[in-house]
C-alpha cells in the first residue's frame, strides 16, 4: 500500500494502525474500501472512540480488527459474536462492533449469529460477503450462489446459499441493510445508522474477491466485479428480505430492509429482575423504557 502523501493526512488516520500497513488484502479486494467506509461512518457517529471495540473472527475480513486503532480483538473462527456478547454485557458502556466475513459469521459462527440476533444483544455486525472462503484459497461457503465455481465446487455449487439479510431479520435483528463495496457513501451512512441503533444491527456488504472467486466466475478483476455491482444492484429500501436472494451474476437487491425497535437483552433482563427486586433497583433510564416483555416477541 502506498504511503498517504498529503501532509494533513487522511481523516481516518486517527483510527488506523499505520504501523500495521501494508495490509494483507489482495489487489481488487473490497475490504480496504469497506474498512474505510466503516471508519468514516464511525467518526461521523460521534461515538467516543475509547469506548468502541472491534471484534473479529478468522478470515480475510477478520484481519480488519488488527488494522483499527481501537480496542480490538482477533478471536477464533466463528466466535466473534459470543466474545462480543461477553464484552458488551460486562461493560455496557462499550459500543461493540463485530467485523467479520460470511464464512466466519454465517457458517461456523451461524449458531451464534442467530442467537445474538434473537436476544437482541446491543452490537453492530458488519458481515463482509465475498461469496467464498478467500483466506484459504476460495472454497465454497454458506453464501456461495448456486452453480458458482469455487475450488471445492469445481463443477458448480450445488448447495442452496443463505440469504444473510433474511436470516438476520428472521432471527430478530432490529436493523438490517445490504450494500456493496461500490456503494461507498450509502455504506458509510448505513454504518453511522447501525452504530447509533440500539440492539442487534447487521450490515451485509457484498465485496469483490477477484483473485480466488471472481476469476472462476467470469469476473476476473476487482473492476469487473465493481462493474457487475453497478449494473446489477437495485436499491430497494424496505424490501422484504425474503426477496433479496442472490443468484450467480444476477441482480443484487440492496438498501435498508429493516429498521425497527425491540427491547434488548439488557432491557428485558433489567425489567424482569426489577419485578423481583423492586424497590431496591433504581428506575431505568434507557431509551427503550416503554418496551415491555409482552412486546418483545420478534415480529
Partner 1 sequence: MTRRRHLTGEFFMNGDVACAEGAISAGCRFFAGYPITPATEVAERMAERLPEVGGIYIQMEDELASMNAILGASWGGVKAMTATSGPGFSLMMENLGLGVILETPCVLTNIQRAGPSTGLPTLPGQGDMMQARWGSHGCYEIIALSPSSPQEIYELTIKAFNLSEKYRTPVLIMADEVVGHMSEKVVIRPPEEIVLFPRRKPNVPPEDYLPFVPDADLVPPMANAGEGYRFHVTGLTHDERGYPVMNAQAQHKLVKRLVQKIKKNSEDIIEIEEDGVNGADVVVCSYGISARISKFAVERARQEGINVGMLKLITVWPFPERTIRKIARGVKAFIVPEINCGQIALEVERCAGGAAETVLVPHMGGGVHRPESILDAIRKAVR
Smaller CB distance to partner 1: residue 43 or 146? Answer: 43
Interface stretch with partner 1, choices 28-36, 146-154, 249-257, 269-277 (CB under 8 A): 269-277
> How far is the C-alpha of 84 from the C-alpha of 279, rounded, in Å?
31
DSSP 267-290: HHHHHHHHHHHTTSSPPP--TTTT
Rounded to the nearest whole angstrom, what is the least distance from the CB of residue 152 to partner 1 in the complex?
23
Q: Does 74 bind partner 1 (CB under 8 A)?
A: yes
CA distances from 262 to 8, 50, 172, 280, 288 (A): 43, 27, 9, 26, 8
- Residues numbered 14 to 73 that lie near partner 1 (CB under 8 A) are 17, 19-20, 49-51, 53, 55, 58, 65-66, 68-73
User: Contact region for partner 1 (CB under 8 A) — 125-133, 161-169, 210-218, 273-281?
Assistant: 273-281
Q: Closer CB to partner 1, residue 112 or residue 256?
A: 112
The residue behind cell 463443477 is 155
Q: Note whether 273 binds partner 1 by CB under 8 A.
A: yes
Q: Looking at 84, 127, 167, 176, which residue binds partner 1 (CB under 8 A)? A: 84
Does position 286 interact with partner 1 (CB under 8 A)? The reply is no
| DSSP states of 67-121 | GBSSEEEE-STT-HHHHHHHHHHH-TT-EEEEEEEHIIIIIITHHHHHHHHHHT-
Q: How far is the CB of 125 from partner 1 (least distance, A)?
A: 14
Minimum Å gap between C-beta 71 and partner 1 is 4
Distance, in Å, from the CA atom of 50 to the CA atom of 238, rounded to the nearest integer, reads 34
- Residue 219's φ and ψ, nearest 5 degrees, are -135, 70
Cell 436470516 sits on residue: 167
Q: Using the rule CB under 8 A, which residue among 11, 21, 111, 137 binds partner 1? A: 111
CB 234, min distance to partner 1, A: 34
Give me the least distance between CB of 88 and partner 1, in Å please: 7
Nearer to partner 1, 49 or 248 (CB): 49
Task: Decide if 89 contacts 71 (C-beta within 8 A).
Answer: no
Stretch that binds partner 1, among 74-82, 148-156, 176-184, 193-201 (CB under 8 A): 74-82
d(CA 87, CA 81): 10
Cα dist from 223 to 77, 102, 183, 188, 228, whole Å: 30, 21, 14, 20, 8
**Nearest distance, CB of residue 184 and partner 1, angstroms:** 26
Tell me the three cell numbers of residue 176: 438490517
Report the nearest approach of partner 1 to the CB of residue 55 (Å).
8
Of the candidate residues 76, 139, 221, 260, the single one contacting partner 1 (CB under 8 A): 76
| Shortest CB 19 distance to partner 1, Å | 8
- Stretch near partner 1 under the rule CB under 8 A, chosen from 38-46, 190-198, 245-253, 276-284: 276-284
Q: How far is CA 216 from CA 30, 53, 150, in A?
A: 17, 36, 7
Classified as helix, coil or strand, 10 is: coil
- The answer to whether 241 touches 166, Cβ cutoff 8 Å, is yes
> Which residues bind to partner 1, rule: CB under 8 A?
17, 19-20, 49-51, 53, 55, 58, 65-66, 68-76, 78-79, 81-91, 93-94, 111-112, 115, 265, 269, 273, 276-277, 280
Amino acid at each position: 500500500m502506498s504511503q498517504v502523501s498529503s501532509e494533513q493526512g487522511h481523516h481516518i488516520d486517527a483510527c488506523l494502525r499505520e504501523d500495521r500497513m501494508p495490509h494483507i488484502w489482495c489487489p481488487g479486494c473490497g475490504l480496504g474500501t469497506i474498512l474505510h467506509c466503516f471508519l468514516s461512518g464511525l467518526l461521523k457517529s460521534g461515538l467516543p472512540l475509547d469506548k468502541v471495540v472491534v471484534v473479529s473472527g478468522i478470515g480475510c475480513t477478520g484481519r480488519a480488527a488488527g488494522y483499527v486503532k481501537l480496542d480490538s480483538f482477533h478471536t477464533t473462527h466463528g466466535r466473534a459474536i459470543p466474545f462480543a456478547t461477553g464484552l458488551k454485557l460486562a461493560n455496557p458502556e462499550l459500543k461493540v462492533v463485530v467485523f467479520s466475513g460470511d464464512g466466519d459469521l454465517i457458517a461456523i459462527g451461524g449458531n451464534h449469529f442467530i442467537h445474538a440476533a434473537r436476544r437482541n444483544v446491543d452490537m453492530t455486525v458488519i458481515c463482509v460477503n465475498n461469496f467464498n472462503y478467500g483466506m484459504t484459497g476460495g472454497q465454497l461457503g454458506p453464501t456461495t450462489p448456486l452453480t458458482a465455481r469455487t475450488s471445492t465446487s469445481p463443477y458448480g455449487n450445488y448447495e442452496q446459499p443463505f440469504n444473510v439479510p433474511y436470516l438476520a431479520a428472521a432471527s430478530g435483528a432490529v436493523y438490517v441493510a445490504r450494500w456493496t463495496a461500490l456503494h461507498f457513501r450509502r455504506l458509510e451512512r448505513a454504518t453511522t445508522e447501525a452504530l447509533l441503533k440500539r440492539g442487534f444491527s447487521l450490515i451485509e456488504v457484498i465485496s469483490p474477491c477477484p483473485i480466488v472467486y471472481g476469476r472462476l466466475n467470469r469476473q476476473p478483476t476487482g473492476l469487473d466485479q465493481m462493474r457487475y455491482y453497478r449494473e446489477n444492484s437495485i436499491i430497494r429500501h424496505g424490501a422484504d428480505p425474503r426477496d433479496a436472494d442472490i443468484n450467480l451474476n444476477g441482480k443484487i437487491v440492496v438498501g435498508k430492509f429493516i429498521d425497527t425497535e425491540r427491547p434488548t437483552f439488557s432491557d428485558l433482563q433489567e425489567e424482569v429482575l426489577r419485578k423481583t427486586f423492586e424497590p431496591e433497583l433504581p428506575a431505568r433510564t434507557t431509551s427503550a423504557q416503554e418496551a415491555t416483555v409482552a412486546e418483545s416477541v420478534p415480529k
